[in-house]
Amino acid sequence: MSAGALVAAARRLHERTAALEFGPPVTHVYAPLDYAWAVHEQYLSRYGEGPKRVLFLGMNPGPFGMVQTGVPFGEIAAVRDWLGLDAPIVRPVREHPQRPIEGWACRRSEVSGARLWGLFRERFGTAAAFFTEHFVANYCPLAFFAGTRNFTPDKLPAAARTALLAACDAHLREVVEALRPQWVIGVGAWAEQRAREALEDLPVRIARILHPSPASPAANRGWAEQARETLTELDVWR
């Protein structure tokens, strides 16, 4: 019952990270495992039965992806139309007025999520076919903002980062123990680095693909083809 184990692990992760405090330059912290928990639980319950051969691991929620929907790389159209998720999303207690949680009504597209889920849709056709052997998770469940600026967890001051990484490392190990993947593929270098440190004593192979962020010039030059080539060269995809 790996889906149940994932749900329980996500609850523990939320409890651990909810107790953490983050000072300047962070002004706002968004926890989609709180206000978008219903969608996240729906995602884990529907698609989290393992084992999975490949686990794709992202960094943390993006402003117009998981921050809005509670699903890793959760671009609205992909989550609603391809994954078929539809649970309610509420407003967080505290939000920046220029970073509102609009949930399913959000009209902005998360480019990284559209690219990642678009690659999977192109190759596998249906979500059910993709999730037969694959799963997607995020390392960190929180999104940080310095005013309106997205502030990634690798940039946090050391004191705040240490406690956060400990909670996220423990959760990643729980996910890997539940799903028993052969591969953990970091989406970007930082996710790969965290996987290598958190899972160093577990029998899993670790690699990475280029992050699909539009802020990356390399990702704007045919990201999907580059990701396919990497996964094929690794023999993750055949």
User: pLDDT category, 183, cuts 50, 70, 90?
Assistant: very high
User: Is the pLDDT score of 1 beyond 80?
Assistant: no
Domains of the chain in start order, with CATH, are: 2-233 (3.40.470.10)
- Give the residue-averaged pLDDT of 185-214: 98
pLDDT per position as a tens digit, 47-76: 999 899 999 999 999 999 999 999 999 999
Q: Which residues contact 204 (CB under 8 A, 6 or more apart)?
A: 176, 181, 182, 183, 184
State pLDDT tens for residues 106-147.
999 999 999 999 999 999 999 999 999 999 999 999 999 999
Beta-carbon contacts of 162 under 8 Å, excluding residues fewer than 6 positions away, are none
Contacts of residue 10, defined as CB under 8 A and 6 or more positions apart, other chains included, come to 33, 40, 41, 44, 141, 171
The pair of three-digit structure tokens given for residue 218, joined into one six-digit string: 């390399």
- Count of CA atoms in the C-beta half-sphere (13 A) of 215: 5
pLDDT for position 159: 87
pTM: 0.97
